[in-house]
Structure 1
Amino acid sequence: MSHFDLGRRRVMQAVGAGLLLPGLAPAVIASVKDRPQLTDGVQSGDLQGDRAMIWSRSDRPAKMVVEWDTRSVFSNPRRFVSPLADSRTDFTARVELTGLPVDQAIFYRVHFEEAQTGIASEPWFGHLRSVPQQRRDIRFVWSGDTVGQGFGINPDIGGMRIYEAMRLRLPDFFIHSGDTIYADGPVPAQLTTEGGRIWRNITTEAKSKVAETLDEYRGNYRYNLLDENVRRFNAEVPQIWQWDDHEVINNWSSSKQLDERYQTRDINTLVGRARQAWLEYSPMRRQSADGGGRIYRKLSYGPLLDVFVLDMRSYRGPNDDNLGAEKPFLGREQLDWLKRGLKASQAQWKVVAADMPIGLGVPDGEVSPGVARWEAIANGDPGPAQGRELEIAELLGFLHEHKVRNHLWLTADVHYCAAHH
């Protein structure tokens, strides 16, 4: 068995048990009930060069302390400390690890130190593999649509086992292609499937209704983190997050009409709260653009792979008939950024992580009787490109003109698996 395998086993045993290993005594010894608690585990994300983001959450004001090493015994740990995590961010924190050696197993441990007393939590452990500099095989997984249609954490089947199935593939990273939560999808105590089977759910107050308040949006993320499969996966697999519609409400755009379940009637108010919660809980590297809220970005993963992460929500115009002159979907700034990035990329493969399909018609009711409203890019018209299609036509024409090869688009959103060529 390799050192990496031994380290992996040691780390995951510690994660599962929440153990305080010898040599990891906290700054101030206290009983467990007096210590900060890390019930939501740890996450890593947005690996780039010699850097990686680490995320966790305390239950009280505290600073997150992260130590990393190339050995699971932490014989030479490097230490990083976050700013104070408090109620303004729902006690979430992130730090950026730097100076990571190329293409190595990186073991990290996380604890929180209480702001006033210095009392430290027990540690949680995780690991990742840093970005390669030379050509080597890269394995990653992607998916989306977590806890949708009322199907939540079912203890009868062992919870969200898809995360365990993905973990066992030993991926280098995971692309979450949006719908990281279903803020508009309450989780009942039980529901009946089409085959008549009873599906039982773990329930929480935040998942008892549609999310409207900031804390209700936050509670949707906390719900997912109740699942042991998710926490184990998060501790082992670096992630790349993007958002789609259900982080706010189904098929949202500026023209969204809120249904009777909502007391908040302004879609922009909901979007602002949802974006804040998403940014708090995602292991994404914060960007200064767009007031710190920009989601689209590029991540390079060695000479074989560049990942372009899109935001198909923030810059779109209203969902309508999607005909006529160009209508914004990516928006001019993001479209030009994508064109420049794909043209300049030296990676053999250019993966475009899109939170919606570019060629599939996704209906969103009707604008008026007999006139379809469209949620995605395609408008169902077999003629020349119109509306939102014009942005994609411009992009594809540009890639053809400049002979940009090997660009592969990934998405989720539509709840089925297929390959389109």
Structure 2
Amino acid sequence: MAKLLSRRTFLALSTTLSASAVLMGSWRGTATVAAEAPSYGAQVGDVTPTRAVVWARGQSDARLVVDFSTSPRFERVQTRRGPLVSAATDYTGSLDLAGLQPGTEYYYQVRFVPTGKPVLPPSRPRATGRFRTAPRAENAAPLRFIWVADMCGQGWGRNPELEIATVDGRTVKGGYVIFDVIRPLKPDFAIFCGDMVYSDNACPPTQEIPAVVGGGTWINDPPKDFVAVSLDQFRENWKYNLGDEKFRAFLAQTPIYVQWDDHEVTNNWYPGEVLTAEPYNGIGADALAERARQAFFEYNPIRGGRIYRAYGWGKLMEMFLLDERSFRGGNDRNTQPELLAMLGPEQLQWLKERLKASRSTWKVIATHDPLSIVTGGEGDYDAWSQNNSQVLGREQELADLLKFIKDEDIRNVVWITADVHFPAAIYYDPARAVYQDFNPFWEFVIGPIHAGAFGPASDLPLDGSFGPRYEFNVLPAEPNLPPPNNQYFGAIDIDARGALTARIYKITGEVAYEKMLSPV
């Protein structure tokens, strides 16, 4: 059996290979046809013990083809045919690889074979990406995942002059530097907790940096000079971020699970809203969201057509990815005493059933909107809460869910979130709550990773309905500070004994906060 490369050697190799379209070169010979390289690298997502979704974008009408192996030298290579890509999907395509082995490292490449040509194994395959399948459900394998959100917001785009000094002594310069900080942590996977594009924000060629962090001029190179209204403009937002080589290198070696929030469409949108401001001029949010949703699915490796879904990672953890945009009631009604939907009846019932059926030690709920941090303002309360300690609007749906978790004795539930552009750790205790029929729990908040840093939207520290209290937070000196100021990502480690450690990291890789929880 051929000797496998060390992980460190392969990661160095894959970083070099995945930085550009040399990911998949053309192979020429008597039995092969020249293959077209992907235009934005490749991604893998929604990994299970036996399946993984592989994504890439071509450059013309062609068939997506994936070659993969358990060896970085591609002994025993397998080749699978994917869909034909065309202008109808902006030349993007995904292939759901089935029949994989649990807990196994795979190496893969993606190529595009011209329409009508035979799909043959390449004569010189190269390992251009990697992923590990999830362990079997009964396997208590330790794991690490990271979660990120809020990328390319408030006009702070891809700046070639952005530079940071990392905690391990490296200098990282240019673009989305945080991904070169995350990669050495070697997470098993990442959760993208929404706002991974800002379709409603342009990135002008230059932008002034606030004096409180030194002043000067921020450079966006390339700039992005539009707010998305058309389908093609929504697609361009995803391509703008994928143009960053550090982001592509991260995606080449880290499986992802993706959610959306508001900025994939527009700020604080909800179904039924009419968008009157420029450049929307009376477009319904539903029509805008339909275009944004198509681009979202075209540019991410997602299985099926539903954003809310659940995936397990061995015996120790199951994650529940929520969709708190598609089924919500109006933000302007979140102060009413009547029930207001956030998840909606169908998604809420699905979540209850999946939580009850889960046999995993930890249940991690990825809620892209925070539970008690107030977002928006009067007439536009966008998250679960609304700056009132009474249980109102959407909080009634949350109270129902928390009561269900208690009544069904569902243990070890942890919430992770983002959206508010500052980091926090919040403990919820019924002893100090207005609504008390629930078990205590933790919520860990991160962000942004590359956007303006902000503080809470209200004068109150937290909405008191469910007894929250900050154990940790970091607030910026003033609103909308650019990277690298006040930028944070999160990580969760679960060891073989089942102990969970949540960490919140600065953009430099320094740990800003750490909390260890034991299962009960």
What is the TM-score with the length of structure 1 in the denominator?
0.90
Residue in 2 that maps onto 1:255 = 273
Query: What CA distance in whole angstroms lies between the structure 2 residues aligned with 1:45 and 1:310?
Result: 16
Q: Which residue of 148, 167, 189 maps to 2:183?
A: 167
Q: 1:193 to 1:344 in 2, by over 3 A?
A: same
Residue in 1 that maps onto 2:464 = none
Query: What CA distance in whole angstroms lies between the structure 2 residues aligned with 1:220 and 1:391?
Result: 33
Q: Which residue of 202, 215, 221 maps to 1:202?
A: 221
Query: What CA distance in whole angstroms lies between the structure 2 residues aligned with 1:60 and 1:362?
Result: 43
Residue in 2 that maps onto 1:381 = 388
Query: What CA distance in whole angstroms lies between the structure 1 residues aligned with 2:85 and 2:98?
Result: 20
One-letter code aligned to 1:324: P
Deviation at 1:25, TM superposition (A): 4.7
Q: Which residue of 329, 332, 335 maps to 1:317?
A: 329
Indicate the structure with greater helix content.
1
Provide the secondary structure at the position in 1 that maps to 2:392: coil
Deviation at 1:3, TM superposition (A): 3.6
Residue in 1 that maps onto 2:129 = 126
The answer to whether the 8 A contact 1:320-1:374 is kept is yes
Q: Which residue of 299, 307, 312 maps to 1:295?
A: 307
The answer to whether the 8 A contact 1:325-1:387 is kept is yes
Which runs of 5 or more residues in structure 1 are unaligned? 287-291, 368-372
Residue in 2 that maps onto 1:289 = none
Query: What CA distance in whole angstroms lies between the structure 2 residues aligned with 1:256 and 1:140?
Result: 38
Question: What pairs with 1:22-171 in structure 2 (closer than 5 Å)?
Answer: 25=28, 28=32, 36-116=36-116, 125-133=128-136, 134-157=139-162, 158-171=174-187
Query: What CA distance in whole angstroms lies between the structure 2 residues aligned with 1:363 and 1:49?
Result: 40
The answer to whether the 8 A contact 2:21-2:40 is kept is no
One-letter code aligned to 1:308: F
The answer to whether the 8 A contact 1:18-1:123 is kept is no
Provide the secondary structure at the position in 2 that maps to 1:165: helix
The answer to whether the 8 A contact 1:111-1:123 is kept is no
Deviations 1:52-96 (A, max 9, x none): 110000011111110111110111011111110111111001101
Deviation at 1:17, TM superposition (A): 6.0
Residue in 1 that maps onto 2:367 = 354
Query: What CA distance in whole angstroms lies between the structure 2 residues aligned with 1:156 and 1:119?
Result: 43
The answer to whether the 8 A contact 1:55-1:95 is kept is yes
Provide the secondary structure at the position in 2 that maps to 1:392: helix
One-letter code aligned to 2:260: W
Residue in 2 that maps onto 1:407 = 413
Provide the secondary structure at the position in 2 that maps to 1:48: coil
Query: What CA distance in whole angstroms lies between the structure 1 residues aligned with 2:266 and 2:144?
Result: 32
Deviation at 1:36, TM superposition (A): 3.1
The answer to whether the 8 A contact 2:207-2:217 is kept is yes
Deviations 1:117-166 (A, max 9, x none): 56999977110111122212211110101100001111112110111111
Check if 1:14 corresponds to 2:21: no
Query: What CA distance in whole angstroms lies between the structure 2 residues aligned with 1:59 and 1:233?
Result: 22
Residue in 2 that maps onto 1:268 = 286
Deviations 1:261-286 (A, max 9, x none): 22562222111100000010011112
Deviation at 1:203, TM superposition (A): 2.8
Deviation at 1:295, TM superposition (A): 0.7
Check if 1:418 corresponds to 2:424: yes
Query: What CA distance in whole angstroms lies between the structure 2 residues aligned with 1:96 and 1:46?
Result: 9
Query: What CA distance in whole angstroms lies between the structure 1 residues aligned with 2:74 and 2:116?
Result: 28
Provide the secondary structure at the position in 1 that maps to 2:161: helix
Deviation at 1:37, TM superposition (A): 4.0
One-letter code aligned to 2:358: S
Q: 1:389 to 1:76 in 2, by over 3 A?
A: same
Query: What CA distance in whole angstroms lies between the structure 1 residues aligned with 2:26 and 2:91?
Result: 27
Aligned CA-pair RMSD: 2.3
Provide the secondary structure at the position in 1 that maps to 2:426: coil
One-letter code aligned to 1:163: F
Q: 1:325 to 1:21 in 2, by over 3 A?
A: closer
Residue in 1 that maps onto 2:299 = 281
Provide the secondary structure at the position in 2 that maps to 1:268: helix
Query: What CA distance in whole angstroms lies between the structure 2 residues aligned with 1:23 and 1:218?
Result: 27
Q: 1:285 to 1:4 in 2, by over 3 A?
A: same
Q: Which residue of 166, 172, 186 maps to 2:202?
A: 186
The answer to whether the 8 A contact 1:84-1:115 is kept is yes
Query: What CA distance in whole angstroms lies between the structure 1 residues aligned with 2:79 and 2:421?
Result: 42
Provide the secondary structure at the position in 1 that maps to 2:385: coil
Provide the secondary structure at the position in 2 that maps to 1:66: strand
Deviation at 1:255, TM superposition (A): 2.7
Deviations 1:206-229 (A, max 9, x none): x31110000000000000011000
Deviations 1:217-276 (A, max 9, x none): 000000001100011001010000000000000000123533122256222211110000
The answer to whether the 8 A contact 1:255-1:319 is kept is no
The answer to whether the 8 A contact 1:102-1:131 is kept is yes
Deviation at 1:49, TM superposition (A): 2.0
Residue in 2 that maps onto 1:344 = 357
One-letter code aligned to 1:131: A
Residue in 2 that maps onto 1:177 = 193
Deviations 1:368-420 (A, max 9, x none): xxxxx31111122222x121111000000011111111111111110011111
Question: What pairs with 1:212-251 in structure 2 (closer than 5 Å)?
Answer: 212-251=229-268
Residue in 1 that maps onto 2:478 = none
The answer to whether the 8 A contact 1:258-1:267 is kept is no
Which runs of 5 or more residues in structure 2 are unaligned? 163-173, 428-520
Q: 1:87 to 1:398 in 2, by over 3 A?
A: same
Query: What CA distance in whole angstroms lies between the structure 1 residues aligned with 2:23 and 2:133?
Result: 25
One-letter code aligned to 1:298: A
